[in-house]
Amino acid sequence: MKAKQDNYWIVLADLMTVLMVIFLFIAVSYMIKVNEDKKKQEKILTDYKTSKVALLKELNTEFKEDFKKTKWNAVLDSTDLSIKFIDERILFDNDKSDLKPEFKNILSDFFPRYLKIIMKPKYIDKIAEVRVEGHTSPIGEYIHNLELSQNRTRNVIAYLRTLDYYQNQMPKEKERLQYWLTANGLSYGRTLDKNGYLTHKNKLPPDNIKCRRVEFKIVTTTDELINKQIQQLNK
């Protein structure tokens, strides 16, 4: 009887040992995964900061003089790398989507220089999308303005594709540009105040002149990764 009890306790002790080893293995595996995830997150943030800061610096250096009110009257937003053309006098006539000659001249100067920066080897794999956004003032019916803004951005991209610099790109680069460039008509969903900030956030009255604009916005691959990380955290 005593021998049976001893065997029972030996088997139980062995079982507990196995369970402890399994638990230890799970704990170590979890710690390794947490450490790997942390390194991935740190790398994402480092890449995000490095690529965005570098792009911002190059864009500002290249276009600083052109952005002045006396020339293009455009704004480089440091938060999202967007370049906002806000001079409605050179963009489009009221309720029209045809590009004015003045805006065509600006685009002919701007776009080749813009591409020379963002298509550099050090950036080319960091960019997921280049959005051409059209925005209107909050006057009139929303859906009508949605169609109007979409037509405007479509015409901007159509004109960019006619430029010699675009046409002279190698097939691989053209394919990349077709993948990158998107036309996004946003009606008056993202109006700006007199200081150029989104009224949705600060609740200030919209500035109709600043609302009527065309933006070139760079979306980096790191933006997408960060959004995925946020989605996972919210699950």
pLDDT tens track for 127-180? 999 999 999 999 999 999 999 999 999 999 999 999 999 999 999 999 999 999
Query: What CA–CA distance (Å, rounded) separates 232 from 235?
Result: 5
Query: What CA–CA distance (Å, rounded) separates 15 from 13?
Result: 5
| pLDDT of amino acid 230 | 46
pLDDT exceeds 70 at position 24: no
Query: What CA–CA distance (Å, rounded) separates 106 from 85?
Result: 10
| pLDDT of amino acid 38 | 60
Contact 126, 48 (CB under 8 A): no
Query: What CA–CA distance (Å, rounded) separates 131 from 82?
Result: 9
- At 120, the pLDDT band (50, 70, 90 cuts) reads very high
- What's the predicted TM-score (pTM) here? 0.75
The larger pLDDT score, comparing residue 7 to residue 94, is at 94
Mean pLDDT, residues 41-64: 80
How far, in whole angstroms, is CA 4 from its chain's centroid? 70
Mean pLDDT, residues 171-199: 93
b/e per residue, 119-146, with b = 16+ CB within 10 A? eeeebeebbebbbbbbbbbeeeeeeebb
Sign of the alpha-carbon dihedral angle for 90, 154, 137, 79: negative
| pLDDT of amino acid 40 | 60
What are the tens digits of pLDDT across the range 202-235? Answer: 889 999 888 889 999 998 886 655 555 545 555 5
Residues of the chain above pLDDT 90, percent: 54
Query: What CA–CA distance (Å, rounded) separates 206 from 211?
Result: 7
Mean pLDDT, residues 186-203: 90
Number of C-beta neighbours around residue 155 at 10 A: 19
Query: What CA–CA distance (Å, rounded) separates 61 from 65?
Result: 8
Domain ranges of the chain: 2-40, 41-231
Q: Average per-residue pLDDT in the chain?
A: 84
CATH architecture of 41-231: 2-Layer Sandwich (3.30)
218 burial (CB, 10 Å; 0-12 / 13-18 / 19+) is: buried
| pLDDT of amino acid 209 | 86
pLDDT exceeds 60 at position 70: yes
- At 10, the pLDDT band (50, 70, 90 cuts) reads low
Q: Which residues pair with 76 in a beta bridge?
A: 83
